[in-house]
Amino acid sequence: MDRTFPLTTAFAEAIISSEPLKDEAAVQAARTAIIDWLACAFGGALDRTTLILLEQLSPGSGNAVIIGQERRTDALTAALVNGHAGHVLDYDDVHSSVRGHPTTVVVPVLLALAADVQMSAEQLIAGYIVGLEAMARLGLSLGMKHYENGFHATATLGTIGAAAAVAHVLRYSVEETAVALGLAATHSSGLRLQFGHDAKPYHAGMAARSGLLSARLARAGFGGARDFLDNHIGFFSAFAFGEERPQAAVENWGSPWQIVSPGLTLKAFPCCTASHPVAMIGLQLHQEGLRADTIESVTFTFPPGGDAALVVRNPTTGIDARFSPEYVFAAALIDGVLRIDHFGETPVREDLMAVARRVGRRHDESAPRLSNDPKTRFVIAEVSLAGGDRLTREFKGLPGLSDPTGKFRDATGNHPAVSAVPELAQTMRSEDDLHRFLALLGQRLT
């Protein structure tokens, strides 16, 4: 170990020496998560903003697949566009240690990389597990203020996770890995003020492209600091706001793998994760037969920090409504379901907003602050009804999916051109398997 930069060196060594394929639970979790993410990416492939990126980027020549498009491009463009497409619906997975969305950054990088280098499907899976691990360990080491003070961890940690995935797959040296991570760290950016705007999913694509570029530059001999975790003006100084726990970046690495425990939450609804407990309460009250016209007011109680991502109270379109628990509750209560079309670019429905405007929020300051521990997440709804009756409902933790194959079928319209994707994702191992997989991802479904 380089004693001059002990933590960065240990982090780099963990990345390149990991053997995640020995853990069948991690491999299975990765395969399932890839299916879930591809549902999101196909769903976002023809989104207005995805097409804008393709128009403005002037894609170069190359063999990298753009998901849901019958075209190939250079690896950097593919990483950006696919990362954005996978996050544009806000339907992709989340991880509590990251406090963000790891798959939509790491997997696009590896799919793009596969167009330029010889690699097997198992190498892709291994790189994904390691890239997620790097993001999650850094998330644990930064503490909560990084996110609460305005950074979007998907973007800031994603660049480093993406570079880590490449370094693992291509067997970088420790020094090359340290430089790649440092270059990725200097790319780290992304502000939560963009939630509800087109720029939010762009963060994921931006991180994917930057991580891949950082790794490429390091391999080519481009220089950079090798001590991003050790330097007194490094990553922790810039991003942790005094809450850093540096050793969390490497302690218990892979024991268990973060993709296994605490694991990913695969989203059941296409909106911000923090609103999902609210959605569950709305759906429960719908099933109980509660009529919207009997509600006088609703108050949601969150733990401190529990609604930090829910930055919209009076949405105008379905895009910003993804970050409005008031709207999510109203849609779940009235319609009994939350669909992608609830969160499109059309104006919000007035019948939903009539309920949403009766919803307020508060925080239980006596409760533990929201943290990486899922036990700190809860929402309590107190509903006042006409005539003076009151209802109280509570949801703890996060809902999620265990099998995303139905989600994939819905997102792709059960299109026969890609019907084999879920099964292949569960079984692929070789380089030939990966080539078949990439060919399927390049199918246009309209």
Q: pLDDT tens-digit profile of 234-276?
A: 999 999 999 999 999 999 999 999 999 999 999 999 999 999 9
**Residue 242 CB: number of other CB atoms within 10 A?**
8
The answer to whether residues 261 and 290 belong to one domain is no
What is the tens place of the pLDDT at every residue in 345-375? Answer: 999 999 999 999 999 999 999 999 998 887 8
The answer to whether residues 101 and 233 belong to one domain is yes
Per-position pLDDT tens, the chain of length 446: 456 899 999 999 999 999 999 999 999 999 999 999 999 999 999 999 999 999 999 777 899 999 999 889 999 999 999 999 999 999 999 999 999 999 999 999 999 999 999 999 999 999 999 999 999 999 999 999 999 999 999 999 999 999 999 999 999 999 999 999 999 999 999 999 999 999 999 999 999 999 999 999 999 999 999 999 999 999 999 999 999 999 999 999 999 999 999 999 999 999 999 999 999 999 999 999 999 999 999 999 999 999 999 999 999 999 999 999 999 999 999 999 999 999 999 999 999 999 999 999 999 999 999 988 878 999 999 999 998 999 999 999 999 999 999 999 999 999 999 999 999 999 999 999 999 999 999 998 87
Residue 349 lies in a domain: yes
Residue 426 lies in a domain: yes
* Spatial separation of the C-alpha atoms in residues 374 and 357, rounded to whole Å: 29
Q: Are 112 and 75 in contact (CB under 8 A)?
A: yes
The answer to whether residues 258 and 284 belong to one domain is no
Strands of the sheet containing 378-385, edge to edge, are 359-363, 295-302, 378-385, 390-396
Residue 306 lies in a domain: yes
Taking alpha carbons only, the member of 276, 275, 277 closest to residue 380 is: 277
* Spatial separation of the C-alpha atoms in residues 257 and 367, rounded to whole Å: 29
Residue 104 lies in a domain: yes
* Spatial separation of the C-alpha atoms in residues 336 and 177, rounded to whole Å: 49
Number of helices (H) and strands (E), helices first, in the chain?
Answer: 19, 8
The answer to whether residues 284 and 377 belong to one domain is yes
The answer to whether residues 241 and 355 belong to one domain is no
pLDDT of 326 reads: 98
The answer to whether residues 164 and 24 belong to one domain is yes
Q: Where are the beta strands (DSSP E) in 317-413?
A: 359-363, 378-385, 390-396
Q: First and final CA of the chain: distance in angstroms?
A: 53
Global pTM reads: 0.94
Tokens matching residue 38? 């591809």
* Spatial separation of the C-alpha atoms in residues 437 and 426, rounded to whole Å: 11
What is the tens place of the pLDDT at every residue in 404-431? Answer: 999 999 999 999 999 999 999 999 999 9
Measured CA distances, 79 to 52, 82, 85, 212 (Å): 15, 5, 10, 8
* Spatial separation of the C-alpha atoms in residues 79 and 76, rounded to whole Å: 5
* Spatial separation of the C-alpha atoms in residues 224 and 186, rounded to whole Å: 10
Tokens matching residue 425? 């994702």
Contacts of 280 (CB under 8 A, 6+ apart): 332, 395, 399
CATH number at residue 148: 1.10.4100.10
The answer to whether residues 13 and 37 belong to one domain is yes
Taking alpha carbons only, the member of 41, 87, 88 closest to residue 65 is: 41
Residue 401 lies in a domain: no
User: Which residues on adjacent β-strands are paired with residue 73?
Assistant: 64
Q: For residue 364, what are the domain limits?
A: 273-396
CATH number at residue 295: 3.30.1330.120
* Spatial separation of the C-alpha atoms in residues 139 and 312, rounded to whole Å: 25
The answer to whether residues 278 and 260 belong to one domain is no
Percent helix, strand, coil in the chain, to 5, is 55, 10, 35
For CA atoms 278, 280, 283, 289, give the dihedral sign.
Answer: negative
Query: Helix 199-219 vs helix 158-169: angle between axes, to the nearest 10 degrees?
Result: 40
The answer to whether residues 170 and 39 belong to one domain is yes
Split into its structural domains, the chain has a count of 2
Residue 387, SS3? coil
* Spatial separation of the C-alpha atoms in residues 65 and 421, rounded to whole Å: 15
* Spatial separation of the C-alpha atoms in residues 303 and 368, rounded to whole Å: 7
Residue 1 lies in a domain: no
* Spatial separation of the C-alpha atoms in residues 104 and 88, rounded to whole Å: 10
Calculate ∠ Cα 92-95-96, nearest 5°: 140
Residue 354 lies in a domain: yes
Residue 303 lies in a domain: yes
- SS3 for 183-240 is HHHHHCCCEHHHCCCCHHHHHHHHHHHHHHHHHHHHHCCCCCCCCCCCCCCCHHHHHC
The answer to whether residues 17 and 116 belong to one domain is yes
The answer to whether residues 351 and 435 belong to one domain is no
Tokens matching residue 84? 């954005």
The answer to whether residues 241 and 376 belong to one domain is no
Residue 253, SS3? coil
* Spatial separation of the C-alpha atoms in residues 185 and 217, rounded to whole Å: 13
